[in-house]
Amino acid sequence: MLAAPVAALLCASLLTPGWASGGHLRATQTLTTHAEWSGSWTLVSVSECGAQPSPESSFFCLRHMATATLPGLGSVLLAFTSVQDTRGGCVYLLVTGGSLATHSQGTLHFAGATPGCAGSPTSPLISGKVPVTVAGGDGSFAAASGTGTLTINRYLHVQTGCCGDSEGEVAFSLDAPNASFDVTPPVLSGAHSKTVRIPMAAKRAHVRYSVTAQDAVDGSVSAVCKPRSGSWFRPGRTKVTCSATDESGNTATAQFTITVKHRG
């Protein structure tokens, strides 16, 4: 099984004005966000591809289901079909039936295709970057527009010709008149370096500390630190890394040092 998605990276976010029907000024939320995803794929029939092959082409279709955490959107379920279309001496890569379902904003729809050859017919499975266009959605994304890229980095077979795991990246630049994006990470408190002194014969120290996180939208959120409070620390300097992620996928991190010294 592939590793869980790594932490997502927020590119940018801003508020821009737009005109609603009737001439009233309306705020349009613009979000640029990017994350890595990890999921699984299954082989689907040509009729489920969402694209129609021409007489001279052959199709190979995989349906992907994946999870990711996108800053500004939070935890999402990503679903799409990657279509390998072989025509002549070229293989084209398409993405059809793309959707990105959020917990509270609704579902975003997208699709796209590589502008040229993604590989040769000898490639058993094609991976690559596909430019995609946002095709609206439901909920807060009912009037959404924008562009993005869907990158398929790797396939891993569980059983040849059946199914397996896949991983990649997704990036979107969205204009959504009805959405409200939280792009501010929580604030961590208590991540302060400290020194602990132990007897000369002692080989380690039991150290406790308190790190908390507060978010402007979600209130108190969980802070996770490694090594965690109450761990045993050996003499010397040990770096502690703490992080907190809010419901919209914004992550704050902080580091501090625990120094253990012998008395003397």
| 157 and 230 share one domain | no
Instruction: Output the pLDDT for position 56.
Output: 67
- Does residue 12 surpass a pLDDT of 60? no
State residue 155's pLDDT score: 75
Which residues constitute the domain of residue 25?
9-176
Mean pLDDT over 85-98 rounds to 88
pLDDT tens, residue by residue, 178-194? 888 999 999 999 999 99
In a domain, 47, yes or no: yes
Q: Closest by alpha carbon to 240, among 197, 188, 202, 199?
A: 188
Listed in order, strand segments (DSSP E) in the chain are: 9-19, 25-44, 57-70, 74-87, 90-102, 107-113, 128-137, 145-159, 163-176, 187-189, 194-198, 205-206, 212-215, 219-221, 223-226, 232-233, 236-245, 251-262
CA-only gyration radius of the chain, Å: 24
pLDDT-derived band at 159, boundaries 50, 70, 90: low
In a domain, 3, yes or no: no
Give the C-alpha distances (Å, rounded to integers) separating 66 from 36, 174, 208. Answer: 10, 20, 38
Is residue 1 in a domain?
no
Assess whether pLDDT exceeds 60 at residue 10.
no
Q: What is the pLDDT of residue 4?
A: 35
* Bridge partner residues of 90 (DSSP): 87
CA pair distance 26, 20, nearest whole angstrom:
6
Instruction: Provide the number of structural domains found in the chain.
Output: 2
- The CATH number of residue 30's host domain is 2.40.480
- Identify whether 58 is part of a domain: yes
Higher pLDDT pick, 55 / 250: 250
26 and 145 together in one domain: yes
Q: Are residues 117 and 214 in the same domain?
A: no
